[in-house]
Amino acid sequence: MIRPRLPQRPFRVAFYGAAREDAARHLAMQYQQCRDAVPGRHLTVAFYDTIGAVVPTPPQFTINETPVWRAGGLAELLLEASMPERRFDFVIVTDLDRLGRHIGRVSDILRRLIRCEVELLTVPDPDDSTPDVPRLPLLRLRSLNYLDTILDMAREGDFR
């Protein structure tokens, strides 16, 4: 597994997950994948949404019997990203589709993070067995130029 190079500043990463069915189990799997991809104990906060499901009360899921508390959903993540006292400099997701199913919505979210100088890390789902979809081991989105290139490729059908 490829791990990101650590920056000189503290490496503070927010987890974002989203799940529909069997949310607690799927969120726990996503969180575990992201935790495995980030070296050390750099995950500082967890945000997640349960789409079409009720957020558990208390708002948590469990990894190895340790509760992972929900700091909010995507709206709260984006709000905190814009604050100078935020608890993270990176956001990690298992795949871009966790942010949304439509490229316009995903690009809006990515632009907001980039403007806040928050990098997005993605790590692919090991259970995704779709052979025709190219996957990168770890992707860092950090500039609007890079984002525009990816969006142009998607529009032209060169990147899925």
CATH number of the domain enclosing 68: 3.40.50.1390
Question: Is 25 a member of any domain?
Answer: yes
Per-residue pLDDT of the chain (160 residues; tens, 9 = 90+): 455 554 455 678 899 999 887 888 888 888 888 888 876 668 888 999 988 766 665 667 777 677 788 899 999 999 999 999 999 988 999 888 888 888 888 888 988 998 898 988 888 655 555 544 444 445 555 544 555 555 555 555 544 4
pLDDT score recorded for residue 42: 81
Question: Is 3 a member of any domain?
Answer: no
Element (H, E) at 101: none
Question: Is 58 a member of any domain?
Answer: yes
Phi, psi of 104 (to 5 degrees): -65, -45
- Kindly compute the dihedral angle of the four CA atoms of residues 20, 32, 81, 53, in this order, to the nearest 10 degrees: 20
Question: Is 65 a member of any domain?
Answer: yes
Phi-psi region of 101 (alpha: psi -120 to 50; beta: other; left: phi over 0): alpha
Question: Is 4 a member of any domain?
Answer: no
Question: Is 17 a member of any domain?
Answer: yes
Question: Is 131 a member of any domain?
Answer: yes
pLDDT score recorded for residue 4: 53
Name residue 69's beta-bridge partners: 60
Q: What is the tally of structural domains in the chain?
A: 1
Look up the domain containing 44 and give its range.
Answer: 13-156
Question: Is 5 a member of any domain?
Answer: no
Query: In angstroms, rounded to a whole number, what is the distance separating the alpha carbons of residues 10 and 39?
Result: 12
pLDDT score recorded for residue 81: 96
Query: In angstroms, rounded to a whole number, what is the distance separating the alpha carbons of residues 10 and 93?
Result: 19
Please write down the long-range contacts of 105-112, taking CB distance under 8 Å and 24 or more positions apart: 107/147, 107/151, 109/74, 109/78, 110/141, 110/147, 111/144, 111/147, 112/78, 112/81, 112/82
pLDDT score recorded for residue 6: 47
pLDDT score recorded for residue 44: 86
